[in-house]
Amino acid sequence: MKLLKNPIFIIVSILCSSCAVEAEYVPIDERLDALPGKPGVPLDNEITEARVTLGKNLFWDPILSGDQTVSCATCHHPDKGYADGRALSSGIGGKGLGESRTGGMLVKRNSPTILNTAFNGIENNTPYDPTTAPMFWDNRASSLESQAKLPILSLEEMRGHGFEKDIIIDTILQRIQKIPTYVAQFESAYGTNSITEMNLFKAIATFERTLIANNSRFDQYVNGNSDALSDLEIRGLQAFIDSKCTNCHSGPMFSDYELHSLGVADHSDLKESDDGRDGQYRFRTPTLRNLSITGPYMHNGTKRTLEEVMEFYEALGEGEIENPNVNGDMLSEDLADMEVDEEQFESIIAFMLSLNDDHFDKSIPKSVPSGLPVGGDIK
């Protein structure tokens, strides 16, 4: 589809008998849209208050880690936009939160935000299946339910050296079964004798589906509020389109969920080069929502600011590839007609920041059923 060189929305004015003007907003670039009001939900895991309560407790409870010091919230904390503010996450053995966290086993990738991950896989005006929603930087899991399991199995993130993969889940379930509060909460959420592996991850996924930030100023603009974006942001939106950013950053989540090789340099702290899931240095297009609170950026956090991200793309458009392991033939075909220059940086960044929505659940439980420190060793 050829993009038109005029503002993204045509305002159609309809004069009523009272001479009032009603504005209707028609998207020009069909690849961009607002988020819907609610995410999709699997038929076998409908959202209920009991499941959300259970899932939130599990999310914050370090009982899910091998040494019981790391929780899901260690790397996905509301103070950090449900990311962790680090270039590379620090798992088992670490102490503290975010940039102040010290020690621990280093995870080879940046912790992506889980805000709006309930919408992963969504495209414009197309039903999406939450049971096949792509997850992680390499799309190695489908659905929030399947995603919730893998950090627990990961040596660096939550498992640690004390437990093998084949016993860690059963160990955690045995721990939970000994806690009366959890027994009661599982029964309320999923019925009697329901402390199972499947229900453990269903509960966590249910809580994560409540972490929604879908009323950014961009969403408001698409939904009819012509004053929601400034002139600078509208110019940035047009520059975003003209520069072909929408080749990959499309749909309501500003992601095509595809794997692309951009030739991003490896993080200097990694002992081995991270060549992605298939050895081709391909990683998933991240969402652009809530960028102001979820940096640093790229799959390994090597870009500290959005200005650095823009400089990277400008250099890439001029043929400069950061990673010596990546050649031109490996680069994503969607980069071929991309063109970003320094004059557009300010407006494009301003537009991307209009995708922020600070209204999401930031509450932290005062305690968790295990009695362990809330969130783990993050103080």
> What does the buried/exposed string (b/e) look like for 162-185 if buried means 16 or more CB atoms within 10 Å of the residue's CB?
ebeeeebbeebeeebeebeebbeb
Q: How confident is the model at residue 306, as a pLDDT?
A: 98
> Token pair for residue 92?
């088992």
Q: How confident is the model at residue 22, as a pLDDT?
A: 31
3-state secondary structure 76-129: CEHHHCCECCCCCCECCCEECCHHHCEECCECCCCCCCCCCHHHCCCECCECCC
Residue of 195, 196, 197 whose CA lies nearest to 187: 195
> Token pair for residue 375?
């969130």
Contacts of 67 (CB under 8 A, 6+ apart): 92, 93, 160, 162
φ, ψ for residue 272, nearest 5 deg: -130, 150
Q: How confident is the model at residue 29, as a pLDDT?
A: 67
Neighbouring CB atoms inside 10 A of 192's CB total 8
> Token pair for residue 73?
């919230």
Distance CA 89, CA 51 (A): 28
Q: Output the pTM of the full model.
A: 0.91
Q: How confident is the model at residue 246, as a pLDDT?
A: 95
Distance CA 274, CA 141 (A): 18
Q: How confident is the model at residue 30, as a pLDDT?
A: 77
Interhelix angle 165-177/197-208, rounded to 10 degrees, is 80
Distance CA 118, CA 105 (A): 28
Q: How confident is the model at residue 359, as a pLDDT?
A: 97
Residue of 146, 274, 286 whose CA lies nearest to 205: 146
Domains, the chain, ordered by start? 9-36+215-353 (1.10.760.10), 49-208 (1.10.760.10)
Please classify residue 127 by burial: count the beta carbons closer than 10 Å to its beta carbon, then call 0-12 exposed, 13-18 middle and 19+ buried.
exposed
Chunked into runs of 10 residues, the chain (379 residues) has average pLDDT values of: 36 30 43 93 97 98 98 98 98 97 97 98 88 97 98 98 97 98 98 98 98 97 93 94 95 97 98 96 98 98 98 95 97 94 96 98 98 97
Do the strands 259-261 and 141-142 form a parallel or antiparallel pair, or are they unpaired? unpaired
Neighbouring CB atoms inside 10 A of 337's CB total 10
